[in-house]
Amino acid sequence: MPVVIAGLAFKLTGLIDALRSPLVIAFASIGFGLLLYGVDQKRPCEKEMKSLGLKAALLIGLSQILALIPGTSRAGITMTAARQLGFKRPDAAHFSMLLSIPTILAAGTLAGLDLVEKGMDGPWQDALIGAGLSFAAALAAIHFLMRWLQHASMTIFVIYRVALGLALLVWVLL
C-alpha cells in the first residue's frame, strides 16, 4: 500500500512526469542493478518466508516506493531489499511477486478509470485482450523465475539492467 499512496502523490504533483528522463532511467537501471548484484553476491541469506515478520515486510514494501523512479525495477528493488534483510533468493522473489498484486491492481484500476472516462468509444476489447495476455505472460514469467532462482543467482538480471542502462546512455549522449 505505501507505493500506491506514494504513486498517487507522485501522479498528482507531476513528479512522475518530471522524472521521465532517459538519463534518469539509464542511471536508475545501472545503479539499482549494481545494488542488486552487490547485495545478492555478498549478503549471506538463510531466512525463509515463514520467518518474515512485520518489520521486514514493511521495509520491503516501502522499498517499492523507489520503483516510482523510472528505470527502477519494482521486482528488482523489492528482491534487493529482501536479500539485504537475509532472505533466500526464491523467498525474496516469492514475496516480491505477492507485493506486486496491490500495485498491479491499483495501476489497472487507474487504467480502467481512464477507459471509463472515454465511455463506450474506448478500446475496451483491446484492453481486455491486453490484460488477459499480460496475466498469462506474468504467470509464465513467475513460474520460470522461481525455478531459475532455485539454482542460480540474479547476475543475469543485473547484466541485462546494466547493459540496458549503458545502451540508453550511449543513445542519449550521441
Q: What is the pLDDT of residues 145-157, one digit of tens each?
A: 888 888 888 898 8
| CB contact at 8 A, 106 and 92 | no
Say how far apart CA 132 and CA 166 lie, in whole Å.
Answer: 33
**Ramachandran category for residue 15: left, alpha or beta (phi over 0 → left; psi -120 to 50 → alpha):** alpha
Domain that includes residue 8, residue range = 2-173
Q: What is the pLDDT of residues 22-79, one digit of tens each?
A: 999 999 999 999 999 999 988 677 888 888 999 999 999 899 889 888 899 888 999 9
Q: What is the pLDDT of residues 84-143, one digit of tens each?
A: 999 988 898 888 888 888 777 877 787 778 777 777 666 777 777 887 888 888 888 888
Count the Cβ atoms, other than its own, within 10 Å of residue 35. 19
Quote the number of domains for the chain.
1
Q: Is the pTM of this model over 0.75?
A: yes
